[in-house]
């Protein structure tokens, strides 16, 4: 099977099951949030934020090093397993120390315990990431997709059951723990990872040299994602922090829909093409072409009708409306940034990502504080969008030194179609139907997306036909292939 076909098949597997899992999680999550209070979600998201920040040291990312490694042998996998085991022991110890100091500061008891439980389950996830990397190296994404699908279902199903049983914040904590557990057990079984404690000093040195670069770039990434939780918690309280965190989770639905193509499949694919700039540019352009067209409807829905969506999950969440509206453009910026990062990682240039992250955080850290101070939870969303825009601009400068991409051809049609959709919605919006809240949201969302699709089809029907023909030809079996 050709690399192009294998990448497309892998994307189809990961995307297909990912979409089903996200759809189930989305629907179940909406139902669950009707019975959940922002402060309860705030306890869970505070614990996750602390775990992620404490686990910055795990940004050594041995899994990424395995995928990117040009040479594959048993010592690569055994040394990676030993290093991961050492890292887990260190993280569990540090979690206990952190919990002790939180108690001394008078942190509410439930927050301390939630943090410890999440830390324990997150340690298991480090092994799961290693097992997944072993499969990614061979582009065996159907196996990964099946396990990830079960993991995606676990969180919403377990958490909604426990919320209905009155478990509150613990429902979310244990729901997340069940997802990590299923991922760990499932990937261990299907990957058949060659677990061994065989040690190679040469391999360990290579892992750490690569890891130090990833530590800073991915560590800064964690600060970028979780810093807002700590600021809103400290300045606005647990309830407002919960609204901010839940807004981010709903917003992240858009980037997650393209994550299989943008990150999961893209990294090993780009890595295999790293010596051929022309083919690398072709692969990157194809990913960028589709992600912009898939995500623009999310941008329109978040930007135009977030109030209709929030009405579905309950009046207690109405504070999320301005946050979602501000985050709308970030639904496109975030995957663009992630895809450029993956491109740089695939070329063994995490240092470039690090530089961009430093620029981002130099603006983001003070911006988050001052914008939250003057604009409340909406300011937190604005700080995220500003930082993402800086990230896209910075990685674009780095990426164009590697490959040549026809940015105007790729970006202009969906932008024009989106502008036309906004114009049509401002002239006529189907709000007069006044049906139940779910129907009102769905009708308006379909209307906005359909107008966008019609305009886009009129603008580039020939280009879309060419892309379809390319994908169809690529998917054809080669002579002698079963």
Instruction: Judge whether residue 46 has pLDDT over 50.
Output: yes
Alpha carbons 35 and 30: distance in angstroms, whole number: 9
Match 């090093």 to its residue by tokens: 65
Contact between residue 207 and residue 200 where contact means Cβ atoms under 8 Å apart: no
The answer to whether residue 480 is domain-embedded is: no
Q: How far is CA 201 from CA 80, 84, 193, 209, 215, in A?
A: 11, 15, 20, 12, 20
Residue-level pLDDT at 16: 61
Instruction: Judge whether residue 328 has pLDDT over 70.
Output: yes
Six token digits for residue 466: 């060419």
- Helix intervals (H) in 192-304: 201-236, 238-251, 253-259, 266-272, 277-304
- Considering 170-174, 277-281, 305-309, 312-316, the range whose residues carry the highest mean pLDDT is 170-174
In this predicted model, what pLDDT tens digit does every residue of 295-307 receive, in sequence order?
A: 899 899 999 999 9
Estimate the crossing angle of helix 74-104 against helix 109-137, to 10 degrees: 170
Residue-level pLDDT at 215: 67
Q: pLDDT exceeding 70 applies to what percent of the chain?
A: 81
Listed in sequence order, the residues at least 6 apart from 471 whose beta carbon sits closer than 8 Å to its beta carbon are: 8
**Residue range 403-414: mean pLDDT, rounded:** 82
- Considering 112-121, 272-281, 283-292, 343-352, the range whose residues carry the highest mean pLDDT is 112-121
Instruction: Judge whether residue 230 has pLDDT over 50.
Output: yes
Residue-level pLDDT at 163: 94
What spatial distance separates the first Cα and last Cα of the chain, rounded to whole Å? 9
Instruction: Judge whether residue 11 has pLDDT over 70.
Output: no
Instruction: Judge whether residue 225 has pLDDT over 80.
Output: no
Alpha carbons 148 and 133: distance in angstroms, whole number: 13
Instruction: Judge whether residue 264 has pLDDT over 60.
Output: no
The answer to whether residue 261 is domain-embedded is: yes
The answer to whether residue 482 is domain-embedded is: no
pTM score: 0.78
**Residue range 332-357: mean pLDDT, rounded:** 81
Alpha carbons 42 and 48: distance in angstroms, whole number: 10
In this predicted model, what pLDDT tens digit does every residue of 114-155 receive, in sequence order?
A: 999 999 998 888 888 888 888 877 767 677 778 888 888 899
Residue-level pLDDT at 440: 87
Helices then strands, counting H and E runs in the chain, come out as: 19, 0
Alpha carbons 40 and 331: distance in angstroms, whole number: 26
Instruction: Judge whether residue 343 has pLDDT over 70.
Output: yes
The answer to whether residue 243 is domain-embedded is: yes
482 — pLDDT class (breaks 50, 70, 90) = very low
**Residue range 388-406: mean pLDDT, rounded:** 84
Q: How would you write 163-179 as a 3-class SS string?
A: HHCCCCHHHHHHHHHHH
The CA-CA-CA angle for residues 234, 110, 152, to 5°, reads 90
Alpha carbons 185 and 40: distance in angstroms, whole number: 29
In this predicted model, what pLDDT tens digit does every residue of 160-197 receive, in sequence order?
A: 999 999 999 999 999 999 999 999 999 999 888 888 88
Domain that includes residue 86, residue range: 3-475
Alpha carbons 171 and 177: distance in angstroms, whole number: 10
Alpha carbons 278 and 403: distance in angstroms, whole number: 7
Alpha carbons 444 and 437: distance in angstroms, whole number: 11
Contact between residue 182 and residue 125 where contact means Cβ atoms under 8 Å apart: no
Residue-level pLDDT at 377: 93
Listed in sequence order, the residues at least 6 apart from 401 whose beta carbon sits closer than 8 Å to its beta carbon are: none
Estimate the crossing angle of helix 407-427 against helix 437-475, to 10 degrees: 160
Collapse the DSSP code of 372 into the 3-class scheme (helix H, G, I; strand E, B; otherwise coil) and give the result: helix
Instruction: Judge whether residue 475 has pLDDT over 60.
Output: no
Residue 295 class from Cβ within 10 Å (0-12 exposed, 13-18 middle, 19+ buried)?
buried
Collapse the DSSP code of 275 into the 3-class scheme (helix H, G, I; strand E, B; otherwise coil) and give the result: coil
Residue-level pLDDT at 41: 93
The answer to whether residue 272 is domain-embedded is: yes
Instruction: Judge whether residue 471 has pLDDT over 80.
Output: no
Least confident window among 48-57, 218-227, 271-280: 271-280
Closest among 60, 83, 61, 80 to 72, alpha carbons compared: 80
- Considering 7-16, 133-142, 149-158, 402-411, the range whose residues carry the highest mean pLDDT is 149-158
Residue-level pLDDT at 481: 47
More confident residue, 286 or 302: 302
Q: How far is CA 51 from CA 180, 227, 341, 354, in A?
A: 14, 12, 23, 22
**Residue range 190-214: mean pLDDT, rounded:** 77
The answer to whether residue 481 is domain-embedded is: no
Q: pLDDT exceeding 90 applies to what percent of the chain?
A: 33
Instruction: Judge whether residue 236 has pLDDT over 90.
Output: yes
224 — pLDDT class (breaks 50, 70, 90) = confident
Chain centroid to Cα 64, Å, comes to 16
Contact between residue 471 and residue 12 where contact means Cβ atoms under 8 Å apart: no
The answer to whether residue 156 is domain-embedded is: yes
Instruction: Judge whether residue 461 has pLDDT over 60.
Output: yes
Instruction: Judge whether residue 469 has pLDDT over 70.
Output: no
The CA-CA-CA angle for residues 424, 430, 431, to 5°, reads 125
pLDDT averaged over every residue in the chain: 82
Q: Count the domains in the chain.
A: 1
Query: Around Cβ 93, how many Cβ atoms within 10 Å?
Result: 10
More confident residue, 65 or 155: 155
479 — pLDDT class (breaks 50, 70, 90) = very low
Listed in sequence order, the residues at least 6 apart from 435 whose beta carbon sits closer than 8 Å to its beta carbon are: 443
Alpha carbons 300 and 442: distance in angstroms, whole number: 13
CA dihedral 441, 439, 161, 55 (to 10 degrees): -20
Alpha carbons 207 and 59: distance in angstroms, whole number: 12
Least confident window among 41-55, 348-362, 384-398, 426-440: 426-440
Alpha carbons 39 and 158: distance in angstroms, whole number: 20
In this predicted model, what pLDDT tens digit does every residue of 348-396 receive, in sequence order?
A: 777 788 788 888 889 999 999 999 999 999 999 999 999 999 988 998 8
């Amino acid at each position: 099977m050709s690399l192009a076909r294998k990448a497309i098949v892998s994307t189809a597997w990961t995307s297909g099951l990912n979409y089903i899992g996200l759809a189930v999680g989305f629907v179940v999550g909406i139902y669950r949030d009707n019975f959940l209070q922002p402060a309860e979600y705030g306890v869970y998201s505070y614990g996750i934020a602390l775990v992620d920040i404490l686990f910055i040291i795990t940004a050594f990312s041995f899994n990424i090093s395995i995928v990117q490694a040009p040479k594959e042998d048993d010592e690569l996998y055994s040394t990676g397993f030993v290093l991961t085991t050492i890292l887990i022991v260190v993280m569990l110890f540090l979690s206990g120390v952190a919990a002790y100091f939180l108690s001394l500061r008078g942190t509410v008891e439930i927050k301390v315990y939630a943090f410890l439980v999440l830390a324990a389950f997150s340690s298991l996830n480090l092994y799961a990431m290693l097992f997944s990397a072993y499969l990614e190296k061979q582009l065996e994404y159907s196996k990964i997709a099946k396990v990830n699908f079960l993991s995606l279902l676990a969180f919403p199903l377990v958490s909604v059951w426990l919320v209905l049983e009155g478990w509150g914040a613990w429902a979310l904590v244990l729901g997340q723990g069940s997802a990590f557990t299923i991922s760990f057990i499932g990937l261990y079984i299907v990957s058949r990872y060659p677990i061994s404690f065989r040690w190679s000093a040469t391999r360990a040195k290579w892992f750490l040299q690569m890891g130090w670069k990833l530590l800073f770039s991915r560590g800064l990434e964690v600060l970028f994602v979780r810093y807002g939780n700590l600021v809103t918690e400290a300045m606005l309280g647990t309830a407002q922090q919960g609204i901010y965190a839940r807004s981010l989770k709903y917003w992240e639905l858009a980037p997650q829909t393209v994550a299989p193509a943008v990150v999961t499949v893209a990294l090993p694919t780009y890595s295999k093409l790293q010596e051929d700039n022309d083919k690398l540019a072709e692969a990157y352009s194809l990913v960028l072409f589709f992600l912009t067209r898939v995500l623009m409807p999310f941008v329109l829905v978040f930007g135009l009708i977030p109030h209709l969506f929030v009405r579905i999950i309950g009046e207690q969440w109405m504070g999320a409306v301005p946050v979602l509206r501000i985050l709308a453009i970030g639904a496109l910026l975030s995957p663009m940034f992630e895809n450029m990062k993956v491109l740089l990682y695939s070329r063994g240039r995490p240092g470039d990502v690090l530089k961009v992250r430093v620029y981002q955080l130099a603006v983001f850290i003070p911006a988050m504080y001052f914008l939250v101070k003057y604009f409340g939870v909406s300011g937190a969303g604005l700080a995220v969008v500003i930082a993402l825009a800086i990230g896209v601009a910075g990685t674009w400068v780095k990426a164009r030194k590697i490959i040549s991409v026809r940015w105007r051809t790729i970006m202009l049609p969906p932008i024009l179609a989106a502008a036309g959709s906004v114009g049509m919605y401002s002239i006529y919006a189907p709000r007069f139907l006044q049906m139940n809240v779910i129907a009102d949201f769905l009708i308006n969302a379909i209307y906005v997306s359909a107008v966008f699709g019609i305009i886009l089809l009129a603008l580039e029907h020939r280009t879309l036909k060419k892309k379809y023909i390319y994908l169809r030809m690529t998917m054809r079996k080669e002579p002698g292939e079963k």
